[in-house]
Structure 1
């Protein structure tokens, strides 16, 4: 089967890379620049820092930083209309995945008339005519290198993704220096989110030798840098390592896709506003305990990437090693390991399973056919912390 492999038009990586922004902007000859970000990044001083750098260009700037928490489709529509009113013809997104998803989607929709049709998923967004530059301030979502964007659907009470090549930016500037101010909790959840992208795309039914190269490298780097990046955020070496993890995993995700972990995380975000990275991190061991039986060979390789041991002679033990690594990771990074800890009502699990079972695009990418009942069992295990014969 033929497959495409897509990346942004250009990726500029390195400490201090964001300082080259003025010369990059000259290539697009904009008349008005939009900066899209969130309150946290603005409060950290990064938006002001970006504005100061852009003042060198002499181009007028419009700044939108009203993104709080997980963005909704309604917010995307609001931002798109606002940028249109301001006559912005170049969009720069700076922040975590939420800000970048809003920025690149708004840029893609600026020239489109029927915004609602694209946001509903009825139509794929066509070619983007407004230039877009993305600068991540976290290492996790990989939004700066993907053609995916995730938003809350308030009507359906879940998160839903839209996918289009138009969501790939013209330029991704990945500067580890911009992630130093990222809080420990966000560094942990976004970092494990990146690992989720790597491992899920590695076992994806759409995976190819090319996507696996990116996913493998991300998984090899991850254990080397994640703990240092979370517990010693000013360590630029670990921040650089995690920036590579995020970018590499993001490229693999963009082309091979993710699966059941993300499918089960969406309703948690939509109904209970659990952060996307936290939901993925928590669900990962419980999902893999269920689906791992169908990707034993890949998990033998994953165990090797993570330096958990050589299970080539005992492949069935690789799943156990990977699942327990993922559980220990939650403890090491001070992330919750049960839905009960998050205050999710036990009686909501059947409704969560029903919602997750409808995320067909991602479930179809998983090498295990998950029924609604099987999904409910995963949620129950995640609620009580049950893994195999162990109860946490």
Structure 2
């Protein structure tokens, strides 16, 4: 590993980062310590329907603090929904926001906390300005193991006008408190567990090879990858396996910290246009594209591919370093099969004649492509989409 000597980087995490079975029960203490006078709970319609939102309300009821709920989220959120959330919660003068759910709910919660009290939020949403301060406190509790949103500085939203997904980034998106309780993920459906779990693995491997990776971020990426193989299949096919759920909670959180500090790359860049135009779930898009992307970009990081193969217990390739990439990519393809995830873009209803447009959009996401140790131009990106459209041919 070559350590870049001309890069100075900070390392950021939430103020409180708590992981463990039963951690949810500490929520009341954290609300008290933040001095909350009025609380907003941000979640989604699905979790409201199954009683998770009510569970939070019941748990904090003894505090006798005025509380409102915002649960208008269904599917992946848009910038318009974010604006509505900010207007609603800002008008209520809440001083603590609790986000509970998957990445969509957590992104809305932390972005809303950061944007409340701002006069004009449009300039923040279009990327002209970065949010530099936050007056509203924020607590995040994930119910899936994948996005790592509870420990990252990113929030992803759909731009309905341009039919793309865009990220907004700020250090103040990090919550005051992240509470990761594996018990909250038990009810997560198998498809979501699979997609979000592979999303976490994508964060781990992309941050590991990232241009901005450091020895410290690689510690988190490495541990996430080592924990992944022994837990993902069990968590997907036996959702009540609390040990596997705990393992995946760690995978998600560790990979999320690595993502927050080293960033991700080309897999995410190619996934965003699929979410914007076709509304493909972020985790599904990442999972499907990952092997096709790494077949190309992995050629420039042979040493890292040897290390990743070791982390995944795929073998020792010191005597055949060029074979490590094939082993890793084969593992990624097999994951799709084992977890019942789509194996080609055509399965997802993507039209072949839309691939050039998708490539054009992906090629513009320089923030991610420039963090990838392989220069991908629009033509090479189109080639990856074409391969992913057909699916794997042969072995």
Please give the TM-score of this superposition, normalised by the length of structure 2: 0.98
Q: How many angstroms does 1:254 deviate by?
A: 0.1
Q: 1:24 aligns with which of 30, 39, 49?
A: 30
Q: Deviations over 1:73-126 (max 9, x none)?
A: 111111001001111110000000000000000000002212000011111111
2:78 counterpart residue number = 72
Q: 2:384 matched to 1:383? A: no
Within 5 Å, give how 1:132-281 maps onto structure 2.
132-281=138-287
Q: 1:53 aligns with which of 34, 39, 59?
A: 59
SS at match of 1:62: strand
Q: Could you tell which deviates more after superposition, 39-48 or 76-85?
A: 39-48
Task: Name segments (4+ residues, structure 1) moved above 3 Å.
Answer: none
CA distance in 2, matches of 1:233, 1:40: 18
Q: How many angstroms does 1:289 deviate by?
A: 0.3
Q: Deviations over 1:318-363 (max 9, x none)?
A: 1100111000000000000100110100100000000000011000
Tell me if structure 2 keeps the 8 A contact 1:6–1:254. Answer: yes
Q: How many angstroms does 1:391 deviate by?
A: 3.8
Tell me if structure 2 keeps the 8 A contact 1:384–1:391. Answer: no
1:359 counterpart residue number = 365
CA distance in 1, matches of 2:329, 2:99: 35
SS at match of 2:33: coil
Within 5 Å, give how 1:31-110 maps onto structure 2.
31-110=37-116
Q: How many angstroms does 1:44 deviate by?
A: 2.1
Q: Deviations over 1:216-256 (max 9, x none)?
A: 00000000100000000011000000000000000000000
SS at match of 1:77: helix
SS at match of 2:167: strand
2:122 counterpart residue number = 116
Tell me if structure 2 keeps the 8 A contact 1:385–1:391. Answer: no
Q: 1:298 aligns with which of 285, 295, 304?
A: 304
Q: How many angstroms does 1:40 deviate by?
A: 1.4
Specify every segment of 5 or more residues in structure 2 that has no aligned partner in the other structure, as ranges: 1-6
SS at match of 1:187: helix
SS at match of 1:340: helix
SS at match of 2:21: coil
Q: How many angstroms does 1:56 deviate by?
A: 1.3
CA distance in 2, matches of 1:294, 1:43: 47
CA distance in 2, matches of 1:125, 1:341: 39
Q: How many angstroms does 1:28 deviate by?
A: 1.6
CA distance in 1, matches of 2:339, 2:16: 33
CA distance in 2, matches of 1:323, 1:263: 19
CA distance in 1, matches of 2:179, 2:98: 10
Residue correspondences, number? 389
Q: How many angstroms does 1:192 deviate by?
A: 0.1
Tell me if structure 2 keeps the 8 A contact 1:7–1:146. Answer: yes
Q: How many angstroms does 1:27 deviate by?
A: 1.0
SS at match of 1:128: coil
